[in-house]
Amino acid sequence: MGCSTSNQSIIKSDDELTASIVSHIESYQANDFTFFDQYSEDVISRINNIVIDGKDDLLNGWKSHHDFLYENINIEDLYVHTNYFADGTIWSNAWFTWTGKGQTTGDNYSNRSHFDYKWEDGKIVEVVAYFSETIENTEIAAYTASLEEK
C-alpha cells in the first residue's frame, strides 16, 4: 500500500469554483444575471430531465422567475461543494431551499432544490437540477389564464 493520491477524488467547499456557484445563486436571488458569462454558449441543462439547449434559453427561463412569475425570491439553507474527480471531471453541487411569492396567485412557495454544475475550461457546460415542478406549473397556469382573461 502506498500513499499515492493519483486515483483519489477530492471534495472542496472553500475553493474558487464553489465560491463562484455561491455567488451565482446569490446573484439569481437578486435578479442579477451577470454571472451567465460563466456558462458556455452551448450549455446543456437537464431540469427535472427536461433538456434545455444553450445559454439563452436557460437564461430566459431564470429571468422569467423575476419578470412575471415570482416576487420576494430568497435562497435559504444554501450548501455548495465542488467535486474534483480523479479522471479530471469537475462538478459543483448545490442544495438549498428556494422561496418566493407568486405574482399571479399571491401564494407563498417553498421548494427544496438540488443543482449540479459541470465545469470544463472554466465554464459551466452542463447543469442538472431537481426540484418539485408543482410550484412552477401552478404559477405558470395562473399567469397564462390571467393573460387569456385580458
C-alpha cell at 7: 486515483
CB contact at 8 A, 33 and 55 = no
pLDDT at site 149: 86
- Residues pairing with 81 in the sheet: 93
**C-alpha cell read off for 127:** 447543469
pTM: 0.92
Asked if residues 109 and 135 have their Cβ atoms less than 8 Å apart, the reply is yes
Whether CATH 3.10.450.50 fits 10-149:
yes
The secondary structure of 98-123 as a DSSP string is EEEEETTT--EEEEEEEEEEEEETTE
Q: How many CA atoms lie within 13 A of 145 on its CB side?
A: 9
**pLDDT tens across the length of the chain (150 residues):** 455 556 899 999 999 999 999 999 999 999 999 999 999 999 999 999 999 999 999 999 999 999 999 999 999 999 999 999 999 999 999 999 999 999 999 999 999 999 999 999 999 999 999 999 999 999 999 999 999 987
Alpha helices in 30-133 (DSSP H): 55-64
Find all residues with CB under 8 Å of 74, minimum gap 6, and list them.
Answer: 29, 98, 99, 100
CB count within 10 Å of CB 147 equals 9
Q: Which of 127, 74, 116 is nearest to 94 (CA)?
A: 116
Task: Give me the pLDDT at residue 5, please.
Answer: 56
pLDDT at 150: 74
Per-domain residue ranges of the chain: 10-149
Amino acid identity for residue 123 in this structure: K
